[in-house]
Amino acid sequence: MSTSILQKAGDIMSGHTNHKLADLEKDSHRPSPDTRLTTDFGVLQGNQDDTLKIIMHFDHERIPERVVHARGTGAFGTFRVYESAEDVTFAPVLTDTSRETPVFVRFSTVQGSRGSADTVRDVRGFATKFYTPEGNWDLVGNNIPVFFIQDSIKFPDIIHAVKPEPHNEVPQAQTAHNNFWDFVNLHTEATHMFMWAMSDRAIPRSYRMMQGFGVNTYTLLNKKGERFFVKFHWTPELGVHSFVWDEALKLAGQDPDFHRKDLYEAIDNGAYPKWKFGIQVIPESKEHDFEFDILDATKVWPEELIPVRYIGEMVLNKNVDEFFPQTEQAAFCTAHMVPGIGPSDDPLLQGRNFSYFDTQLSRLGVNWQELPINRPVCPVMNFNRDGQGRHRISKGVLNYWPNRAGTNPPATAEEGAYIDYPQKIAGIKARAKSPKFKEHFNQAQLFLNSLSPQEKTHLVNAFAFELDHCEDPVVYERMSVRLADIDLDLARTVSQMVGGPAIEKASRPNHGKKATRISQLEFPPFEPTIKSRRVAIMIADGYDSLAFNGVRAAVLAASALPVIIAPRRSEIFPASSDKKPGSGVFPHHHLEGYRSTMVDAIFVPGGAESIQTLSKAGRALHWLREAFGHLKAIGGTGEAVGLLQTAFGLPGVEFSSDGSVSSSYGVVTIGKRPEGFMEAVKIAKEGSSFLEKFFYEISQHRNWDRELDGLNAQV
Ligand code: HDE
């Protein structure tokens, strides 16, 4: 590596822990009362109200939105490898354990416009830009490990089909329409992916609780010149969790920015989301050893065959300062790779490597890589010149290479130049794929068979919902029949629900095989935790302040977020108080202003007067019933136990009527006000106190038993 290159990169980094943030600081300014208005050309302005000039900037404030993944949100963070992968790559970003690489991550939905809702049923994008001293590496992934099509030539068709229909631009951000299902039915290669897309993976609870996958097959090159095929994985510390569909639907209206706010709020509160970074590696010599083609992006590499080797960790710890120049102008490109990491012949990736660069030209212009968020932290030295929005000034008379002064010669391999692997190729060049690409159903069956019973139910319900929105019988009838290629029961149940034909037999037998680490239940949090979970505490005047204060303090101590809810947002007074202003609490929201969908759990403290008021409030009962139906943990103490019983006292759900703690179907109650609320809480199954049990239930995300026993359907 040439010293001058390293020298310059080093200069930029010196004195800063995150050199990308330091780099961006150079372009930042913060308006303050001490600064004064100027024109765009810097002249102080005395009159902002009676001038027409400013409108000219405003007239041009919009740029084209991304053609897919238009809706998204981003954050900064750092990446570190804790185990060197030097046996398979020489890329320092994956081998140097002393290095901290700054990253910018943008999460997104795929189908909807920039202003669409966050919680729609959709694939989520998970795009990471690593700012390394060797240049930028963009790992542009999704939260689902496979894709709809095998070759990017089909991309315009699938995207046209999934986006709103052309005659009326309906529906927004939904797969639930004729064109999408018609397309996937006509492309059997989409079968595996639409199973994932109808599963809970497509309605994540949070960006912080999803996996990320590079999806495409990339390559790694080591110092010895050996090449390996690789798939990249991100696995979240908080576990993989989803909404239930009813909740996602409601949130799309109640809080369309739910995921954006969730990420922002977590980072703001210091609950920094973390992911483990893993690689699945196949040596070049074993490329043809599998029953699927390892370059086919509609297939996973089952972890039983190729285990994920976790080598690193990413943490997101800083929100953007301004959305447009950072998140909106962030532009990723799969062809951005650093030495030691390379592409493969995956035909989907080949097209992507062209398309991302191309799309940035129409979105951001030819100099998009010079924008602050996109520019690397190492020097850029080449003979590209000019174009709209050019920032960099290249000195001297020479703007071509080779030139008489020999400036900026190409780097040698020893200096760190990108090495294109000299791949040996023998064969016939044709527009064709290998025969293994033609098998489209094995892994769709594998996926179905690997789900837990509740995930299977959700999958069936998702098909039933989606095909119910298709008006053209050709579409929902054919799709019902297509499901018989996967599983007879699945096809029968769905067909019956959506008005499809009677399905007599499976079009092919379900092979019955299962794989591990497909079901979300196999991705629990690294440790039981309620960190960053929102816990509603519902009160009215006359609430039991001891229980209230105790639980609130414990929730905060566990790094979760208490959300106080009451019939009004002005001060609420505890039992036996003199109602002097300042002696009560100010709720965060009132019952109508916020909804149970926005929290992970509810706690109701006792207090006779408070409970009397809440039992007469229809909305309070609705909160509790809805949270029960959405399988959330619910806790109550003292008089509140009666309120919970009224709201969802179904046969089978037990409630405490005395000083003992009852935990039943995720409902944790104690009939009397418990002692010792303030003690530190261990979040573990064996916990015995009220809080230990309640927090353990919250950490489980949902109480699946309620659903498996059909209780959620009864409220
Ligand atoms: Fe993309 N994709 N894509 N994609 N994609 C874009 O690039 C494309 C694919 C993904 O937060 C576009 O800058 C083709 C797979 C993410 O800015 C565009 C094909 C995966 C993002 C594009 C695919 C992705 C994009 C639109 C082959 C998962 C958002 C705007 C069929 C591995 C990045 C842009 C961000 C964005 C093309 C398939 C992930 C048009 C041709 C597979 C996360 O270039």
Q: Which of 559-563, 653-657, 670-674 has the lowest mean pLDDT?
A: 670-674
**Residue 558 Cβ contacting ligand 1 at under 6 Å:** no
**Which is the closest atom of ligand 1 to the Cα of 355?**
44
Q: 287 exposed, middle or buried (CB, 10 Å; 0-12, 13-18, 19+)?
A: middle
Residue 419 has pLDDT above 50, yes or no: yes
Ligand 1 pocket test, candidate residues 68, 126, 334, most atoms within 8 A of CB: 68
pLDDT average, residue stretch 310-319: 98
Q: Which residues belong to CATH 3.40.50.880 in the chain?
A: 534-714
Residue 284 CA to residue 277 CA, distance in Å, equals 22
Q: What is the ipTM of this complex?
A: 0.98
- Provide the 8-state DSSP code for 44: B
Q: What is the pLDDT of residues 271-293, one digit of tens each?
A: 999 999 999 999 999 999 999 99
pLDDT average, residue stretch 167-194: 97
CA dihedral (329, 109, 120, 201) positive or negative: negative
| Cβ atoms < 10 Å from Cβ of 184 | 23
Q: What is the pLDDT of residues 576-632, one digit of tens each?
A: 899 999 999 999 999 999 999 999 999 999 999 999 999 999 999 999 999 999 999
In contact, 683 and 530? CB cutoff 8 Å: yes
Report the percentage of the chain scoring pLDDT > 70. 96
Residue 493 has pLDDT above 90, yes or no: yes
Residue 16 bears catalytic tag = no
> What pLDDT score does 685 carry?
84
Ligand 1 pocket test, candidate residues 106, 210, 234, 352, most atoms within 8 A of CB: 352
**Residue 634 Cβ contacting ligand 1 at under 6 Å:** no
Distances (CA, A) of 416 to 96, 411, 552: 15, 7, 55
**Residue 146 Cβ contacting ligand 1 at under 6 Å:** no
Q: Give me ligand 1 centre to Cα 359, in Å.
A: 10
Q: At 328, phi and psi to the nearest 5? A: -70, -35
Length of the chain: 715
Kindly indicate the confidence band of residue 434, based on its pLDDT and cuts at 50, 70 and 90.
confident
**Which is the closest atom of ligand 1 to the Cα of 147?**
42
Kindly indicate the confidence band of residue 15, based on its pLDDT and cuts at 50, 70 and 90.
low
Residue 457 CA to residue 119 CA, distance in Å, equals 20
H/E segment holding residue 141:
strand 135-142
- Render 540-562 in DSSP notation, one character per residue: -TTB-HHHHHHHHHHHHHTT-EE
Residue 676 has pLDDT above 70, yes or no: no
Give the pair of three-digit tokens for residue 353: 């490597």
Residue 12 has pLDDT above 60, yes or no: no
Q: What is the C-alpha radius of gyration for the chain, rounded to an integer number of angstroms?
A: 28
| Residue appearing with tokens 């920015």 | 257
Provide the angle, in degrees to the nearest 10, between the axes of the packed helices 488-498 and 453-468: 40
Distances (CA, A) of 678 to 199, 269, 675: 40, 22, 9
pLDDT average, residue stretch 178-196: 98
User: Is residue 356 annotated as involved in ligand binding?
Assistant: yes
Ligand 1 pocket test, candidate residues 332, 333, 353, 373, most atoms within 8 A of CB: 332
Candidates 69, 192, 259, 440; catalytic one: 69
| HEC profile of 207-267 | HHHCCEECCCCEEEECCCCCEEEEEEEEEECCCCCECCHHHHHHHHHHCCCHHHHHHHHHH
> What pLDDT score does 587 carry?
98
At residue 401, the 3 state secondary structure works out as: coil
- Render 633-672 in DSSP notation, one character per residue: EEEEETTHHHHHHHHH--TT-----SSSEEEETTEEEESS
> What pLDDT score does 14 carry?
45
Kindly indicate the confidence band of residue 340, based on its pLDDT and cuts at 50, 70 and 90.
very high
Closest among 247, 349, 224, 263 to 74, alpha carbons compared:
263
User: 143: phi > 0 → left, psi -120 to 50 → alpha, else beta; which?
Assistant: alpha
Average pLDDT of the chain, as a whole number: 94
At residue 497, the 3 state secondary structure works out as: helix
Residue 407 CA to residue 430 CA, distance in Å, equals 41
Q: Give me ligand 1 centre to Cα 123, in Å.
A: 11
CA dihedral (359, 363, 365, 367) positive or negative: negative
**Residue 129 Cβ contacting ligand 1 at under 6 Å:** no
Residue 4 has pLDDT above 80, yes or no: no
Residue 240 has pLDDT above 70, yes or no: yes
Q: Which of 10-24, 49-63, 178-192, 215-229 has the lowest mean pLDDT?
A: 10-24
Q: Which residues belong to CATH 2.40.180.10 in the chain?
A: 3-25+73-370
Provide the angle, in degrees to the nearest 10, between the axes of the packed helices 155-162 and 178-186: 150
For the domain spanning 447-522, the CATH number is: 1.20.1370.20
Q: Which of the four CATH numbers 3.40.50.11540, 3.40.640.10, 3.40.50.880, 3.40.50.740 does domain 534-714 have? A: 3.40.50.880
First vs last Cα of the chain: how many Å apart?
66
Candidates 18, 136, 142, 185; catalytic one: 142
* CB burial string 618-641: b at 16+ within 10 A, e below: eebbebbbbbbbbbbbbbbbbbbb
**Which CATH fold topology does 3-25+73-370 show?**
Catalase HpII,  Chain A, domain 1 (2.40.180)
SS3 content of the chain, % helix, strand, coil (to 5): 30, 15, 50
- Please count the CA atoms within 13 angstroms of the CA of 396 that sit on its side-chain side: 14
pLDDT average, residue stretch 679-699: 88
> What pLDDT score does 9 carry?
39
**Residue 108 Cβ contacting ligand 1 at under 6 Å:** yes
pLDDT average, residue stretch 665-673: 94
Strand partners, 78: 102, 315
Amino acid at 112: G
Residue 37 has pLDDT above 60, yes or no: yes
Residue 565 CA to residue 573 CA, distance in Å, equals 13
Kindly indicate the confidence band of residue 179, based on its pLDDT and cuts at 50, 70 and 90.
very high
**Residue 141 Cβ contacting ligand 1 at under 6 Å:** yes
Residue 69 bears catalytic tag = yes
In contact, 440 and 194? CB cutoff 8 Å: no
- Please count the CA atoms within 13 angstroms of the CA of 498 that sit on its side-chain side: 32
pLDDT average, residue stretch 325-336: 98
> What pLDDT score does 10 carry?
40
Q: Which of 417-421, 567-571, 618-622 has the lowest mean pLDDT?
A: 417-421
> What pLDDT score does 87 carry?
98
Q: What is the pLDDT of residues 103-136, one digit of tens each?
A: 999 999 999 999 999 999 999 999 999 999 999 9
| Sheet with 661-664, edge to edge strand ranges | 589-590, 561-566, 534-538, 601-604, 633-637, 667-670, 661-664
**Residue 495 Cβ contacting ligand 1 at under 6 Å:** no
Q: At 528, phi and psi to the nearest 5? A: -55, 130
Closest among 388, 386, 341 to 89, alpha carbons compared:
341
- Please count the CA atoms within 13 angstroms of the CA of 153 that sit on its side-chain side: 5
Strand partners, 107: 73, 126
